[in-house]
Structure formats: structure tokens, C-alpha cells
Amino acid sequence: RHVLDAEFFRRWMLATAAVVDREAARLTELDSAIGDADHGANLQRGFTAVRAALEAEPPQTPGAVLVLAGRQLISKVGGASGPLYGTLLRGTGKALGDDAEVTDAALRAALDEGVGAVAKLGGAAPGDKTMLDALVPAVAALGDGDYGAARAAAEKGAEDTVPLQARKGRASYLGERSIGHRDPGATSSALLVGALAETAEA
């Protein structure tokens, strides 16, 4: 059991910003193989704005932290991933409501809503070689607060995108040439879930 208050969610977002900074070059390199070589820069710009917004006006509830972060990603990132990650965080935050503390079960249910909103916005399903290939198995593995299992499932989901052919987003333009490369968005989604696990373990 974890105490999931506004501070927990703030730390999750700051841990994500930190790992995006560390891994930006790798994310951009993955995107250079099957995209336009900007995924690391896109997320770095987005999470730098998230960090600044959280410092400027620290939100008082878990839901408000994620809604604020989601809005920053939607407004500051031009690429496909900004609106998609923004929708994930905003949708999850809205589903958490106004409670000052939420349970592990409430977070799992809210993440399920957020991931559903991403699928609806982007029209993708697992197997299409997108961020959903990491997010969907992560939420399924989360159970009642097993953040380590969620991280492992997200990492496996990202690795398992290698043999897939992309059916959504820019990589789909490559057709069969998208096979054999790891999806950048699934990789960054695994970082987001890893940051959640790191925060829960701290």
C-alpha cells in the first residue's frame, strides 16, 4: 500500500522529467530509424514545461497534478506524442477526481481510463507498434499496486515492438521497413512507468 497524495504525483512527474533528460538522445536515435528524429527533443521540451508549471503553482491534489502536466504536454509539444501523452495524463488525472489521496486501486482504474483515451484519440490498438504496446500491458500488470510488475510489463512490451510492423503514426509510412526497430513511444512509455515504480519504491 502506498500513500498516493499530490506530492507522490509531483515526484512521479519530476522523476519522469529526469529520466527523459537522461534518455533523450536514445529516444531521438530510435525515432531517427523509423520516424523524424525528434521524440527525445519533443518529450524533453514537454517535461521541462511540466517541471516549470509544477514548480510555479504546485497543485493540491493528485488529479490536479496530472491534469496540469497533461495540459503542458498538449500545449508545448508539437509532435504526435504531445497530445497523446497529454491525453494520457489529463485523462488519468480527471478520473482521479478531487481527492487529496487516492488508493492504488483508484490509480489503476484511472490509468485504465487514461490509456483508453489515448487509444480513442490515436485510433491505435496493442500490436500497432505504438506507446500502447507498453502502456496496456503495464496497466494490466499493475494489479493492486504492483508497480514493479507494471514496469517489467512495460519494458517487455516496448522490447516486443521490435518485430512489429507499425500501423499508426509516422512509422507506418515505412510499411515493412518499420520491422526490426524498437518503437520510440513504447520506449518512452516504459520510462514513464519506470518512473512511477521508482517513486512508489522511494
Q: What residues make contact with ligand ADP under the rule CB under 6 A?
A: 31, 35-36, 38-39, 42, 79-81, 84, 118, 122-124, 130-132, 168-170, 183-186
Query: Closest approach of Cβ 168 to ligand ADP, in Å?
Result: 4
Residue 195 Cα to chain centre, angstroms: 10
User: How crowded is the C-beta side of 59, counted as CA atoms within 13 Å?
Assistant: 28
Residue nearest to ligand ADP as judged by C-beta position: 185
Minimum distance, C-beta of residue 185 to ligand ADP, in the bound complex (Å): 2
Task: Indicate the residue among 94 and 170 with the shorter CB distance to ligand ADP.
Answer: 170
Direct distance between the N- and C-terminal alpha carbons of the chain, in angstroms, rounded to an integer: 13
Nearest CB to Mg ion, comparing residues 39 and 181: 39
In sequence order, what are the residues at sequence separation of 6 or more whose Cβ sits closer than 8 angstroms to the Cβ of residue 134?
154, 155, 157, 158, 161, 186, 187, 189, 190, 193
CB nearer to ligand ADP: give 68 or 84.
84
Q: 191 CB contacts (<8 Å, ≥6 apart)?
A: 16, 19, 20, 23
Least distance between ligand ADP and beta carbon 90 (Å): 15
